[in-house]
A and B are shown apart, each in its own frame.
Chain A
Amino acid sequence: MCTTCGCSGNGHKLTAFAAFKKPASTAGITLEGPGVMVEETPVTNYSPAATLTAPAPTKTVVELERDILDKNNRLAERNRGFFEARNILALNLVSSPGSGKTALLERTLADRGDRQRFYVVEGDQQTARDAERIAAGGAPVVQINTGKGCHLEAEMVRQAILELKPASDSILFIENVGNLVCPSLFDLGEACRVVVISVTEGEDKPLKYPDMFRSSQLCLINKTDLLPYLKFDLEALKNYARQVNPALEFIEVSATTGAGMETWYEWLERKAREVCI
């Protein structure tokens, strides 16, 4: 059964593009911490009468104290270790649907693909349309379809990177499922989380969806070319976002016109240097 949505079968599927083959089956790892067991009803006495009755049920209290998302968190750390060892900058791009994540990636790959190796993992409930757009630009890409699932998990990314085999000194973009709520809880092993918001959305989104803005390090404000036609207060958006996360950085961009994209590329270069170990 799918652990994401409970549907039958694998739940999510992986589609490789170009020269990439289907992955071999990847056995999940079992991670267990020490549980402290406290026996409540130990059998301490023996008497002939006891042999005539069925054994009393035993009751055991296991003081687990384990994070509910322990398995995902450990797999995410494993992904993170892989990225760090290979000097790969992994970024988790999150946003509501339609903010322009794929367009931003297309532009980035087109502008910088000649001087930087990029890899892309695309997450969507259905279709390989986004991966097709990315593949058209020449970057290696794997599409994860989550089925009914609303977010990517570390294990899905692990399978995708087994498929992608990203080279050292590269940048891996993980485009999460368009959803400002669910992906916030699931660490994928990324170095940074980048939340994308477009100016056609409300300025108060950071207050309405605080978890995502709290857990991100960079906020890309996209579609700034549309500002003249909208009543959108950029400073109000930044102020709301800073209330949730005072450390959040902002870059204003337009993936359509290219405005502000140089600042984004400089940020990428800086982060790629920082990830070096």
Chain B
Amino acid sequence: MHELSIIYSILETAEQEVQRHGEDSMVETIELEIGELAGVEISSLEFLWPAAVAGTILEKAVCNIIRPPGKASCGSCGHVFGIKQYFDPCPQCGSHWNEIINGEELRIKSLTITCAQPAVAVATDTN
């Protein structure tokens, strides 16, 4: 069940970022990019998420997951094609030699952090 490790890695990174924004900061939205070939089971991730983030800065965060589909470049004929599984052959020449272009992403794209009491409030008198 490596999805729990994945969540704790996400949480650790998010906590580091939130600390820079002062006390009372929370994550409102977190955007993840997990490719369809990344080896992560999204249903497991979703199942574990609420329990794993309870009591943390991610507890109330909305988690958006972008799922880039697999795309490969054939090592034999150069054809670029959609790939669901590593063992899918090139539809043009049948070769299994391929290079994955997309679909292995495993990334935190962005965090939206809200801070009730801004650490630094900049007031500008425009008069």
Q: Is the CB of B121 within 8 A of A43?
A: yes
- CB of B92 closer than 8 Å to a CB of A: no
- The interface centre, meaning the residue of B5, B85, B96 with most chain A CB atoms within 10 A of its CB, is B5
- CB of B10 closer than 8 Å to a CB of A: yes
Q: Is the CB of B124 within 8 A of A59?
A: no
Report how many residues on chain A are interfacial, defined by Cβ distance under 8 Å.
51
Partner of A69, one of B9, B32, B112: B9
CA distance A120 to B20 in the complex (A): 41
- CB of A23 closer than 8 Å to a CB of B: no
Q: Is the CB of A32 within 8 A of B16?
A: yes
Query: Which residues between 105 and 127 of chain B lie within 8 Å of chain A, taking CB atoms?
Result: 106-118, 121-126
CA distance A184 to B85 in the complex (A): 15
Query: Which residues between 69 and 95 of chain B lie within 8 Å of chain A, taking CB atoms?
Result: 85-87, 89, 95
A-B contact count (CB 8 A): 137
Contact residues on B (Cβ < 8 Å of other chain), bracket: 35 or more
- CB of B21 closer than 8 Å to a CB of A: yes
Q: Is the CB of A43 within 8 A of B4?
A: no
- The interface centre, meaning the residue of B4, B10, B96 with most chain A CB atoms within 10 A of its CB, is B4
- CB of A266 closer than 8 Å to a CB of B: no
- 21 CB < 8 A contacts A-B: A4-B4, A6-B52, A30-B16, A42-B122, A43-B122, A44-B126, A46-B125, A57-B114, A57-B118, A61-B113, A62-B111, A64-B108, A64-B109, A65-B110, A67-B107, A68-B6, A68-B13, A69-B106, A71-B9, A153-B5, A246-B95
In the complex, given contacts A153-B5, A185-B2, A243-B87, what are 5 additional A-B residue pairs having Cβ atoms less than 8 angstroms apart? Answer: A45-B124, A60-B112, A60-B113, A63-B110, A68-B10
Residues of A within 8 A of B (CB): 1, 3-6, 30, 32, 35, 42-46, 50, 55, 57-72, 149-151, 153, 181-182, 184-186, 206-207, 210-211, 214, 240, 242-246
